[in-house]
Chain A
Amino acid sequence: GAGVSQSPSNKVTEKGKDVELRCDPISGHTALYWYRQSLGQGLEFLIYFQGNSAPDKSGLPSDRFSAERTGGSVSTLTIQRTQQEDSAVYLCASSSPRTIETQYFGPGTRLLVL
């Protein structure tokens, strides 16, 4: 099967606009993660979904950030009223129930806020 897919691959938006980023995990993977990576920085954890459990939202930097996972598969990360400091690569990862700590990353969405 296919790996983790993300769309769009690139997004340019104006400050103050809302954006939606999509992640389609590997089929059968119950866990889904969002990270962001700013230029020259490591990965910053944002949110984690595991099956039907309440998501771990402890990494979301502000209430402008939210994420949903519908039907236990596809996830959407929404950033409202974007700011220039939101510019980064947003990475999604997923893992299977048997090897929960082995995360497979998607190609990322490169977000630029002008």
Chain B
Amino acid sequence: QKEVEQNSGPLSVPEGAIASLNCTYSDRVSQSFFWYRQYSGKSPELIMSIYSNGDKEDGRFTAQLNKASQYVSLLIRDSQPSDSATYLCAVRAGGTSYGKLTFGQGTILTVHP
């Protein structure tokens, strides 16, 4: 079992819809959770971090964390074509150094007009 798994893509949604990206992790003592966006041929950029159970909202983005279910998700409301990218889930496990993030394989999102 992979340490961090993301829902298989690619995911295609129409403009204006809600895109839902999911991620599960295997280490129960994981501490910190991140969503990165990576445009084709570019480097990843951090868009959301979440540390506590529940929802965290930032503009059109909402991250949801459920530690009991070992599940973290990212919702993108009012999806725009500019949101088309690969979304990477990353987890920092408990007991590891701050630098050691484990990434999922990514989910490709396409928002079509």
User: Across the interface, do B88 and A43 meet the contact criterion of CB distance under 8 Å?
Assistant: yes
Are A43 and B44 also in contact (CB < 8 A) when A101-B49, A101-B92 are? yes
User: Across the interface, do A101 and B34 meet the contact criterion of CB distance under 8 Å?
Assistant: yes
How far, in angstroms, from A108 to B99 measured CA to CA in the complex? 18
Residue of B nearest to A110 (CB): B41
Q: How many B residues face the partner with a CB closer than 8 A?
A: 23
B43: chain A residues within 8 A (beta carbon)? 91, 105-108
A32-90 residues with Cβ-Cβ distance < 8 A to B are 33, 35, 40-45, 48-50, 56, 58-59
A31 at the interface (CB under 8 A from B): yes
A27 at the interface (CB under 8 A from B): no
A102 at the interface (CB under 8 A from B): yes
Shortest beta-carbon distance from A5 to chain B in Å: 11
A103 at the interface (CB under 8 A from B): yes
User: Across the interface, do A50 and B45 meet the contact criterion of CB distance under 8 Å?
Assistant: no
Shortest beta-carbon distance from B67 to chain A in Å: 17
A12 at the interface (CB under 8 A from B): no
A100 at the interface (CB under 8 A from B): yes
User: Across the interface, do B100 and A42 meet the contact criterion of CB distance under 8 Å?
Assistant: no
User: Across the interface, do B100 and A101 meet the contact criterion of CB distance under 8 Å?
Assistant: no
Using CB atoms and an 8 Å cutoff, list the residues of chain B in contact with chain A: 4, 32, 34, 42-46, 49, 88, 90, 92, 96-106
